[in-house]
Amino acid sequence: MATFDAVLRGALPAPFASRGGDSFDTSLWSATAIAPQRYEPLRGDAHTQVAIVGAGYTGLATAIALADAGIAATVLDAVEPGFGASGRNGGQVIPLVKYDPDQMIARYGQALAEGILQMLEASSDSVFALTERFDIACEATRAGWIQAAHNEAAVPGIRGRYEQWQARGANVAWLDAAQLAKTIGTDRYVGGWIHRGAGTVQPLSYARGLAQAAVSLGVAVHGASLVTRMTREADGWTLHTAQGRLRADQVVLAGNGYTTDLWPGLAQTIVPLYSMQIATGPLPAALNDEILPGMQCVSETRRVVRYFRKDRAGRFVIGSRGPFTPQPGAAAGQALVDSTRKLYPQLKDVPFEYRWAGRVAVTPDAMPHLHRLAPGVWAALGCNGRGVAMSTLMGRVLAAACTGDRSHAPQYPDSDLTRIPFHALHRLGVAAAVTWFRLLDRFA
């Protein structure tokens, strides 16, 4: 279904449209995902206990957790489930964010940090528990995530990370250069570690599977339903779409990098960066045996990180920071192909058949933010490229917030809504920073 028939032939809603088009339909994940269901737009007047804006992992996991608690939920998406980052990402299910246990304790204090760390530790499990519970056909694989050092200077930093997570009892191991070469299939890395609690999914299939699971629990899911306005009522809120109105006691905003101007200032709390990916077709058998034979996923230590994996059919997928556009052009794609062939010279004659991009919501403190925007209005956004596991578990936090009892949910702190200064200039700042980081990586 070409991006929900380009939102029922009205093309993409204004906040997501761009002159160059959108690469959702050209992604590997669109080409290989489980079939999409048709989620009809909201029409006329409806009522629900909790209205959720955004059908990515955050919104859908919230809906599932609400349904489990016996609370009626309705999910509205501007396009369709998985249209945002959830249908475009690398599918790496990693139970980590930027900060390690020591840094977390320094930032938040022992008690709060402990709650966040426990949430992180449970985050990958929460993904695999859902794929198992609902039998989601999303190639769920738990072979581990490797962080690989691209030079000697990067080794002490990740060695420290590994030691801290090992001290907390995580299922981790240190890998020397020879072990990395055998596991990854390239000799470009000098040291690294593996977290065996991590894994991979076909990200769009996972999102579509969550939507089907939510529906099976009685959740109403609507596609082609951009929420353009929300108005406060005496006993809740009304969400307005082109063809309908949804009355709700409470609202959860789960637009992440695709957040619109629905709530004043919310979109200005994050910078939406584009990450771009390319993928080959199924690798020839010899290369498939040589490159990531154990199906781990990998991120490297460069400032402009590359992350890569294979899918079950042996297609090699790699991503990195992209240009500021939802439709990365041939030149940007070729630059990533060239850098990939330096990493894996054996891919020199293998064509890359897919190229796409999606918005990563970046926060200034590199942590996901949970906001109570008003009584009965919640938002969670800003997974900083580590949202497959974390957004899924954030759904349980949001659902618990809606019930008014967060004591049994993972403990995650609320943040104040703080607009990023000079937010409107972020495109310029991002472009400059990425060019600078690429330069530094070249000389590192």
Residues forming contacts to ligand FAD in the complex (CB under 6 A) are 53-59, 76-79, 83-86, 88-92, 94, 226-227, 254-260, 262, 275, 277, 307, 319, 358-360, 383, 385-389, 391
**C-alpha to C-alpha distance for 225 and 191, rounded to whole angstroms:** 48
**C-alpha to C-alpha distance for 23 and 15, rounded to whole angstroms:** 15
Q: Which is nearer to ligand FAD, 34 or 190 (CB)?
A: 34
Q: Which is nearer to ligand FAD, 74 or 186 (CB)?
A: 74
Provide the pairing of β-strand 73-76 with 220-222: parallel
Strand, coil or helix: 173: strand
Q: Which is nearer to ligand FAD, 92 or 202 (CB)?
A: 92
Q: For residues 293 and 186, is the Cβ–Cβ distance under 8 A? A: no
Min dist CB 206 to ligand FAD, Å, is: 9
Q: Which residue is nearest to ligand FAD (CB)?
A: 387
Which residue in this structure is represented by tokens 């977290």? 195
Min dist CB 213 to ligand FAD, Å, is: 15
Q: Which is nearer to ligand FAD, 17 or 431 (CB)?
A: 17
**C-alpha to C-alpha distance for 262 and 241, rounded to whole angstroms:** 11
Min dist CB 97 to ligand FAD, Å, is: 9
Min dist CB 374 to ligand FAD, Å, is: 17
Q: Which is nearer to ligand FAD, 287 or 389 (CB)?
A: 389
Q: Which is nearer to ligand FAD, 345 or 364 (CB)?
A: 364
Q: Is 39 left (phi over 0), alpha (psi -120 to 50) or beta?
A: beta
- Phi/psi of residue 206, each to 5°? -60, -45
Min dist CB 390 to ligand FAD, Å, is: 7
Min dist CB 42 to ligand FAD, Å, is: 10
Q: Which is nearer to ligand FAD, 59 or 314 (CB)?
A: 59
Min dist CB 167 to ligand FAD, Å, is: 23
Which residue in this structure is represented by tokens 């990515």? 56
At 28, list the tokens.
């590997």
Sign of CA dihedral 398, 399, 405, 409: negative
CA 294 to chain centre: 23
Please report, for residues 35, 103, 148, 350, 377, the alpha-carbon distance to residue 402 in angstroms, rounded to integers and kept in the order given: 32, 30, 40, 50, 9
What stretch of H or E contains 160? Answer: helix 155-167
Q: For residues 51 and 74, is the Cβ–Cβ distance under 8 A? A: yes
Min dist CB 168 to ligand FAD, Å, is: 20
**C-alpha to C-alpha distance for 265 and 248, rounded to whole angstroms:** 22
Q: Which is nearer to ligand FAD, 223 or 376 (CB)?
A: 223
